[in-house]
Chains A and B, each alone.
Chain A
Amino acid sequence: MLEQRSRTAGSATAAGLIIKIAVLAVVAALAVWAALPLIAAEAWWGLALEAAVVAVLYYVYLQRRAIQLKYLVPGTLLLIAFQILPVILTIGTSFSNYGDGHRVDKEQAVEAIIAAGVQQTPGGATYLFAVGESSTGELTLLLTDQRDGSTWAGTEAGLTELDDATVDASGRVTAAPGYTVWDLAELNERQAELAELAVPTGDDSGIKVQGLSAFEGTSTRSYDEACDCIADAATGTVWYADNEEGSFLTEDGEPALVGWRVDIGADNYLDVLTDPDIRGPFLGIFTWNILFAAGSVLLTFAIGLGTAMALNKPSMRGTKVYRTLMILPYAMPSFAMLLVWAQMFNRDFGLVNDLFNLSVNWYGGTWSARAMVLIANTWLGWPYMFLICLGALQALPSDSLEAARIDGATGVTAFRKITLPLLLIALTPLLISSFAFNFNNFNAIELLSGGSPFRAGDAVGGTDLLITYAFRQAFGATTADYGFASAISVFIFLIVATMSAVMFRFTRNQEDVYS
């Protein structure tokens, strides 16, 4: 049976075949386009992965048996790419100290610290430079002293006076006997070779190239693999590598400017769980986070349902006009609306206080700020509830309501015993997803209150959600700490996943009751 179906599906119409060929051709084109940079970067694992994905796609759409796969594969690939991969990367980051001061690997950190130790020799000469290549391929710096215009040839043996050089108007050497002088393009392309050419001018000083000029400088720092340390000969400072912290430290524990990224195990998670400075606010934010999400859902649902019931009454007139007006808050971009609301709650110049003749410092108090975000979020969210409630109300079986009426249930009783339970069967999954959305409603908080009110000394504001708190840890005004922010994100992920799972189970039980 299955085989039969697949055969009919496989030998589709000519149009279907053309579409299939076209789509697979696009896949092939995209694959080639993506492969070129991977080859250039010698990312063989990435290339293998890409080849595997393309092979899977071709296999699935060119075979005739497994029809289900044809529907599942695109969705699964996208799910892996955009959902599962980010979660895995976030979890990976949460076990590291990735953040400001720990962004690069150790090798790059060593390079940066040593580069910072290069100083121009006081009173040393500055040069315009060109590069000359001898017939045997040896490189020589052709230098023009900017003070007196004298020309020099710099090799690994040191500087020697260069005679008979041709210079241009600025004094730069353009030709010298025995050398092929590089042009700019060659210079830019082959700068890596140049970096290996050390031209000493003294015991620890040499010619340092910078751009198209050069200067006499001293490199005072060096890395010693034996002690895994960097020593500064000029100041006598020695930084020892601390491979657990990812920093070079002096004996007094002073870190060097640049650290590197290391795996720190579960430290970020332990911080969240054990540090009272973090644990306290975490519980506080968590409680408010649930309050905010639950409050937003309840308020929007109550108002949405109320207005939907009002408009659903047969005796109601002008419903079209009302409906259009009510959709407006939902139709406008919430970004702009939230910024407008933020201005309306200004204590001295805001519309809300002006209109009601109040003097509430909305942003100042914890509960006034919470009321503020709930009010604004309710305004933005209820048209959605209104829409789905109206749809669900119109789909209610009229016989149940009529039977209730015949049995004498009217008004509140009919609503409580018949309408609401019937509605909830249809709407509970939507309410749960609305809860999950508001649990992570970053925009509403960040654009409206920014987490305020903050008391001096607190890292957490009165209206902060877990997600806004995590965001500030990672990208806020304070020093970026991606590792810690990732750990918080993983917590949020676990919390939302658990709550959603529990609630969906609850819904399933509820459906069993009513069906």
Chain B
Amino acid sequence: MRTLAARRRHPAATALLLLMALLVTGAAYTALAPDRADATAAPTVEGATGDVDRGQELFLANCATCHGLQAQGGTAGPSLIGVGAAAVDFQVATGRMPLAQQAPQAPQKPRVFSDQDVADLAAYVASLAPGPAIPEPGQVEVLDDAEDIAAGGELFRINCAMCHNVVGAGGALTQGKYAPSLEGVEGRHIYEAMQTGPQSMPVFNDDNITPEEKQQIISYLDNVQSTPSPGGWSLGSIGPVTEGLFVWVGAMVLLIGCAVWLGAKSS
């Protein structure tokens, strides 16, 4: 101790102290931070296991124009290093990628790649750097329990409804962008969207919304979409605007029509 104390004014002391502090912080962070998704296992899409080499070929042929030969990104597309297999599965399997044209937002459209192609592409991108993995089928299974559905509804209203509407009917964002309707979207893609934050969507990682909560949200959406509207024709579930429209073009036209009919035999 005495030697250490004697050398405390050594020119290297400050640098050493800093180095030690950094090491401690780094070690603590590694110990406490949540594990990143495991990217070593080859991703599977609907049972198809990905092949990195074939994925790279597909990547070079279909994606590299915008995302760069090393997936490093460029002016036309972002870097894909570290986006993970989940991002690839979401973007490609919902048909958003490859992009048909530069637009405010990539729309969902009929997909061009098979499950195997998607798995290969995902394997290639996942091999570049660790990132969120494609969820296991068990993670996106719909829960039937009323409490899970109710909890999912609460989470959805707090975290998602401001853009996607309370029942996931979609909504507008700025400059032509929009939060798409979640009608008929697969649970896997909802999960991946939460993990990767595609386009304008924020990332809801496992610290924001735990995997169980993600599953509850998926279950809530499944419930509201599979339950028939209790009140009759839902008018798109987008609120009072369509109701007002219906009152004027439906009800008022009908009622005025009746008035005209009753008044037709007048003097």
Asked if A and B are interacting partners, one says no
